[in-house]
Chains A and B, each alone.
Chain A
C-alpha cells in the first residue's frame, strides 16, 4: 500500500534563482525506508521539510495515507500531519528531562503517558535514567531519545534529517544498523535525508538521488549502485570506470585488450563505452586476459586500489586484495565481472 505519494512537487524560495526542488514525483510504500541522497543544495532537505509541513510547496500534491495533505499552496499545518521527525541536531528540548521530551507530543490518555514513554525508550534501547536532561547524554543517546520522541506520537511517516552526521565514525556503523532494526521492527514508513551514500546503501530499501532540485533516479540500492541512470548518479556513489571500445563480432577491442561479451548483443556499434565499478574486476594470471601497466597503488588495509594505464593514455581504477606483486611500473592482468555497454551516437 502506498503510504506517501508526491506528485509534481515544486518549490522556489523567495530570492532563489532556480527552484529548490522541481517537479518531483515518487511514492513510498508502507513500511518502506527511503533514502534521499544528494549534495548540499540538492534540495533533499527542502523535500523533507515539504513533507513535514514546515515548508509549503508552490505546486504539486502530497498524499499521506490516502489523504491529501498539501495541494499547491494549500496545506495542512505541520502539527496536524501525524508525521514524526528526527532533527539533524536532535532538537531535544533542553529544559525537559528525557521522559518529558518523549511524553511531550503523546496523545494517549494522560495516565498511560509514563508507561508508554518507558516502553518506547526500551524499544530504542536507551538504558539511562529517564530523569536526566539532554545535555547529560552522549550523542548516540540523544539520538535514541530523539527517535523515541518522534515514535511516541505514532506517526504515519518518520522523517530523519541527516541522522548520522553528528556521530563519531566509530559509533556510526553500529548505530546505523541498530536504527535500521528499530525502524523495521516498529514497521514504520521512513524517509531519511543523507549526503553519505554509505548511509543510503546500508539503511534503505530504496534510494532517491537528487541533484539541483531534480530527481535523478529512484531505485533499489544495488540498482542505483550498479546501473546508475546517468553520470551524476554514477559518480555520486564512487569511482565509475569508463572504457571506449569498438564492438566487433569477436568481442570488444579496448585499450586493455579484447573484452568478451557476456551475452551476444543484438546490434554492434562501432563506438561504445563500457562502464563498471572498481570492484567488478578479477585479477588473472594468464596473459590472455586484459592487461595494463600499474601506475599507482593505494593501500587501505583490507583492499587496495590500483590505477592501471592501457593504450591511448586510457586509465581505470580497480579494487583488489593487497598483493606484493602489484607494484607501479609492473604489468597487471585482469578480467571484468559485470559491466554496462552504452553505444555512442557519432554525429
Chain B
C-alpha cells in the first residue's frame, strides 16, 4: 500500500514543473537583490519613458481593436449579405502577420518609390516628404498593432455573439427596443467578458513584441530590456525591467479575471438557439460590404501583395542554397520543439487525468503561465540560471572557456517550452474533456495500467487535438522573435530572425521572402480555427 497520489506520473510532473518555473522564479527573486550600476540612470530617465510609451501604445491599441474587432464580429454574426461567408474567415487572416512584418510591408507601401505614393504623386501631384505617411512614430505603431491584432477581439466577440442565444435579442425586440438599442444594452454587455479576454490577449502580444517597436522606434518595456541587456550590458537592470513588466502582465491578467468574476452568468440557453440572420439590402449592405472589404484590404491584402511583389523582385537574389538551409533549419527547430511541447503538455494533462488532485491542478495551471510572460523576460530568466549551471559544469569538469549549454539549441528549446506550453496545452485539454474520464477509468478497471491506457485508449481518441496543438505551436514558434533573438546560438538564424536582421539593416525587400513563408504557414491554422468556430453555429 502507498499514498494514492504517489506514482511515476506525479513525480515527473513535479520535476517538470520545478524545471520550467525556474525562469519566472529567477526574475521574481532578482527583484529583491540590489540593482546594478546603470539602474540609477535608468530609473531617473528611461523608466518613465518606458511607462509612458507602453501605456499610450496599449491604450491606443485597445481602443482601435475594440472598435474594429467588435463591429466586424457583429456584422458577420448577425447580418446576411453577399460575401459574408468569405469575410468570416478573411477577417482572421491578419493573425498570420507578425507585427514586425506588417510594419516592414507598410513602410514599403508608404515609401517614396512605393506603389501607393507613386500613384498619388503621379495623379495628384501631392508630395509630403520621403514617406506618404510616416509610420515611425506612436500613431504608426498603434496603426500596425491594431490591424495585426484586432482578430483576437474579432474572434472572441464573434464566438460569443454566435453562442449567445437569439432568444435574448428577440425578447428585447418584443419589449420594443430597436436593433441598435438591443446591441448596446443586451448583446454587447453579455459578450463583455469575451471581448475583454480578447483585448487582454492583444495586450500581452503588444507587451511581448520587440520587432515592431524596435523597427518603429517606440520605447516600450521590452525594447528597454533589450537595450539594457545588449547595449548597456547591464543584466541586473534588464532583470529589474523584466520584473516590472511581469507585474504589468499580472495586473492585466488580474483585471481581466476580476471583470468576469462578479458576473457568474451563462448567456447560453441550450435549446431554441435558432440563429436568425437578418438580410440587409440597399445602402446598408453597400456600407457593410465596403467597411469589411476595407478592413481586409488594409489588414491583409495590401501588405500581403507588397511582400509578394518584393519576393518576386528579389527571388534571384534571395532564393539560393542558404535560403533552403534557413528554411530547413527553421522548420526542423519548430517541429522538434513543437513535438517536445506537446509531449510535456500531454504529461501534465495525463497526470491530472489519472491523479486529479488539487496540487497537480495548481501545478498545471502555473506551468502554462509562461504564455503570458513576454519572450524577452523568459529569455533572461532562462539565461541567468544557464550561465550559472555552465560555470558550475566547467568547474566540475575542469574545462576552460566554453559554455556548454548557454547559447545552444537546447537552451532555446527549453525556453520555447516555458513560453509556449499553454498553446499546446489547451487543445489537448479540450480533447481530453471531450473524450471524458469514464473511458479511461473503464480501461483501468479492465486491468490495463495507466501507461497502456494512454497508448491504447486515450492517445488514439485525442489524435485530432494532438495535431491541432502541434500546428498551433509550430506556427507560433516559426514567427517567434524576441526569445529567439536573445537565446539563439551565434550566427544561427530562423526565418523570423533573418527577416528581422535584413529589415533592420535596411534590406526590407530581401526580408520579404522569409516573411512570406511565415505568413503562408500561418494561414493554415487560421482555416482550422475558423472551422472550429463554425461548428459552434451548427
Residues of A bordering B, CB below 8 Å: 52-54, 77-85, 87-89, 91, 93-95, 104-105, 107, 133-135, 149-150, 153
Q: Is B401 an interface residue (CB 8 A)?
A: no
Q: Interface residues of A: mostly helix, strand, loop or mixed?
A: loop
For residues 132 through 163 of chain B, which have their beta carbon under 8 Å from a beta carbon of chain A?
A: none
| CA distance in complex: A121, B177 (Å) | 21
- Residue contact B272 to A94, C-beta cutoff 8 Å: no
| 4 A-B pairs with least C-beta separation | A105-B175, A94-B265, A78-B173, A91-B167
* Chain A: CB-nearest residue to B175: A105
Tell me if B264 is interfacial: C-beta within 8 Å of chain A: yes
Whether the pair B269, A91 counts as a contact (CB closer than 8 A) is: yes
Closest to B170 in A: A54
Pick 6 A–B contacts, CB within 8 A, sort by A.
A54-B170, A77-B173, A84-B175, A85-B170, A94-B190, A105-B175
Residues of B within 8 A of A104 (CB): 172, 175, 177, 185
Chain A residues with Cβ below 8 Å from B175 are: 79, 84, 104-105, 149-150, 153
- CA distance in complex: A91, B178 (Å): 17
Contact, CB under 8 Å: A107 / B176: yes
CA distance A84 to B186 in the complex (A): 18
CB within 8 Å of A: which B190-239 residues: 190
Q: In the complex, what distance in Å separates the CA atom of A85 from the CA atom of B174?
A: 7
Say which size band chain B's interface belongs to: 20 to 34
Beta-carbon contact of A95 and B176 below 8 Å? no
Residues of B contacting A93 in the complex (Cβ-Cβ under 8 angstroms): 168, 171-172, 186, 190
| Contact, CB under 8 Å: A89 / B186 | no
Our pick among B174, B267, B269 for the contact of A84 (Cβ within 8 Å) is B174
B497, CB-defined interface residue at 8 Å: no
CB distance from B483 to the nearest CB of A (A): 40
Residues of B near A149 (CB, < 8 A) are: 171, 175
For residue B330, CB closer than 8 A to chain A, the reply is no
Question: Would A91 and B171 count as touching, CB distance under 8 A?
Answer: yes
Q: In the complex, what distance in Å separates the CA atom of A87 from the CA atom of B175?
A: 12
Shortest CB-to-CB span from B455 to chain A, Å, is 43
A-B pairs under 8 A by CB, number: 80
Q: Quick check: B168 and A133 within 8 Å, CB to CB?
A: no
User: Which of A84, A104, A135 has most B Cβ within 10 Å?
Assistant: A104
Contacts of B269 in A (CB 8 A): 89, 91
Measured in the bound complex, the distance between the Cα atoms of B395 and A141 in whole Å is: 75
- Tell me the smallest distance from the CB of B266 to a CB of chain A, in Å: 7
Report A-chain residues with C-beta under 8 Å of the C-beta of B167.
Answer: 87, 89, 91
On B, residues with C-beta under 8 Å from A are 165, 167-168, 170-178, 185-186, 189-190, 263-267, 269, 271-272, 276
Expressed in whole angstroms, the minimum distance between the Cβ of A132 and any Cβ of chain B is 12
In chain A, what residue has the closest Cβ to B168? A91
Q: Which residues of A sit under 8 angstroms from B185, Cβ to Cβ?
A: 104
Seed contacts A54-B276, A105-B176, A149-B171; 15 additional CB < 8 Å A-B pairs: A52-B170, A79-B173, A79-B177, A82-B176, A87-B171, A88-B271, A89-B269, A93-B172, A93-B186, A94-B266, A95-B263, A95-B267, A105-B174, A105-B175, A153-B176
Asked if B272 and A52 sit within 8 Å, CB to CB, the answer is no
Q: Is the CB of A89 within 8 A of B272?
A: yes
A347 to chain B, nearest CB (A): 47
Distance from A81 Cβ to chain B, minimum over Cβ atoms (Å): 8
CB of A189, distance to nearest CB on chain B (Å): 15
Q: Report the minimum CB–CB distance from A87 to chain B (whole Å).
A: 6
User: In the complex, how many angstroms separate the beta carbon of A183 from the nearest chain B beta carbon?
Assistant: 17
Please give the distance in Å from B148's CB to the nearest CB on chain A.
31
CB <8 Å contact, A133 and B265: yes
Nearest to A155 among chain B residues (CB) is B174
User: Are B271 and A95 in contact, with the CB atoms below 8 A?
Assistant: no
- Closest A residue to B263 by CB, please name it: A95
Nearest CB of chain B from residue A48's CB, rounded to whole Å: 11
> How many Å lie between the Cα of A77 and that of B278 in the bound state?
12
Bound complex: CA A89 to CA B170 (Å): 12
User: Judging by beta carbons under 8 Å apart, are A83 and B190 in contact?
Assistant: no
Interface centre among A52, A91, A135, A153 (most CB of B within 10 A): A91
Report the bound CA distance from A52 to B170 in whole Å.
Answer: 10
Instruction: Give the Cβ gap from A194 to chain B, nearest Cβ, in Å.
Output: 15
Report chain A residues within 8 Å CB of B173. Answer: 53-54, 77-79
Q: Which residues of A contact B165 (CB under 8 A)?
A: 91
List residues of chain A with CB within 8 A of the CB of B168.
91, 93
- Chain B residues near A82 (CB, 8 Å)? 176
For residue B265, which residues in chain A have a CB less than 8 angstroms away from its CB? Answer: 94-95, 133-135
Instruction: From the candidates B177, B189, B263, B272, name the one contacting A105 in the complex (CB within 8 A).
Output: B177
Q: How far is the CA of A80 from the CA of B263 in the complex (A)?
A: 32
Beta-carbon nearest neighbor of B190 in chain A: A95
- How far is it, in angstroms, between the C-alpha of A53 and the C-alpha of B178 when the chains are bound? 13
Q: Tell me, in angstroms, the Cα distance from A149 to B172 when the chains sit together.
A: 10
Task: Provide the bound-state CA to CA distance between A52 and B190, in Å.
Answer: 24
Q: Which of B170, B177, B264 contacts A91 (CB 8 A)?
A: B170
Cβ contact within 8 Å between A78 and B186: no
Whether the Cβ atoms of A95 and B170 lie closer than 8 Å is no
Determine the residue in chain A with the shortest Cβ distance to B173: A78
In contact, B267 and A94 (Cβ under 8 angstroms): yes
Q: Which residues of chain B are near A54, meaning CB under 8 Å?
A: 170, 173-174, 276
Q: Which residues of A contact B271 (CB under 8 A)?
A: 88-89
